[in-house]
Structure 1
């Protein structure tokens, strides 16, 4: 998947400025696609040149003018082509896994600390995603929202992000505990 498809999908909800798109990415897209604001601005420029998004200037009284973007018919067609193409399997690429793999050869203290930091970060993300899910569904319970909610794509991807963060937290805690136990066992020899 290219960043272009993630940007086009995010713009399906309406017009966004580059700043608003970056905020939307932070909230709804970051659990499956990471991009810094500079990448988003560059991608919007490319997409506009290709006719996949259209931009317009918005005059603001007390602030500088801004450009807002929306998906064009050509952009929707590109997303449809993307949706119809076979999906490639995902894979894990994580530097922490390299550190864990070599922990018993290079030492475990720093690896344990990094696992605990990751678990803490995952807990914070879990809270954020839980709140986002509650906000998205409003007064509906989850079952009702999944059947009757206006747009559920963002909700479904948020559920995936939540499951990932929970599993990641649990794995980090478990592996840190295992490495600590091994440290204690080796210290007693």
Structure 2
């Protein structure tokens, strides 16, 4: 959450709740709801590391609020982040660890695990399909997020099929 907050602050000073609203509006309902408390914890850490500075603003009828702005170091960190590539693939996958340990320990049936995971992915895809229809169609970023998630799920379903074929095939 650090870098997305810095990116939003590059547009100008803001307080935590504004940043939460900006991210939710940008990403749409498909993105998990953000915890405002976690945003403020992250902002505090960013401030301690010198990437942002906060300023208390007095309000007459409400408690003071803290407005954050990006520092030069924050701008440099943000530029470096945009230059980096994503470090995936997912080699540390919790499901695959269960699958690998199931036969090794005898604690679970591998095909049963695959079938359960397949059902879960299909349920998630159905939910995303409904969300795609109800999500504001002019929010192209949210639509791309949903589409990306659907493509990842389809790849995961294909991979589950491959796992099942391998496990059920001749030894």
Cα displacement string for residues 25-70 of structure 1 (whole angstroms, at most 9, x for unaligned residues): 3343688999643332222112212332121223334432221212
Whole-Å separation in 2 of the counterparts to 1:73 and 1:175: 44
Q: 1:33 to 1:73 in 2, by over 3 A?
A: farther
Whole-Å separation in 2 of the counterparts to 1:12 and 1:61: 28
In the alignment, is residue 104 of structure 1 matched against residue 141 of structure 2? no
2:147 to 163, 172, 177: 163
In the alignment, is residue 58 of structure 1 matched against residue 57 of structure 2? yes
Whole-Å separation in 1 of the counterparts to 2:138 and 2:50: 36
TM-score by length of 2: 0.60
In the alignment, is residue 9 of structure 1 matched against residue 3 of structure 2? no
1:126 to 129, 132, 136: 132
Cα displacement string for residues 54-94 of structure 1 (whole angstroms, at most 9, x for unaligned residues): 2122333443222121212221122223334x424322365
Whole-Å separation in 1 of the counterparts to 2:88 and 2:33: 15
2:88 to 87, 90, 94: 90
Matching residue of 2:106: none
Matching residue of 2:43: 44
**Aligned-residue offset at 1:160:** 4.7
Matching residue of 1:182: none
TM-score by length of 1: 0.56
Unaligned runs of 5+ in 2: 101-108, 162-171
CA RMSD between the two structures: 4.0
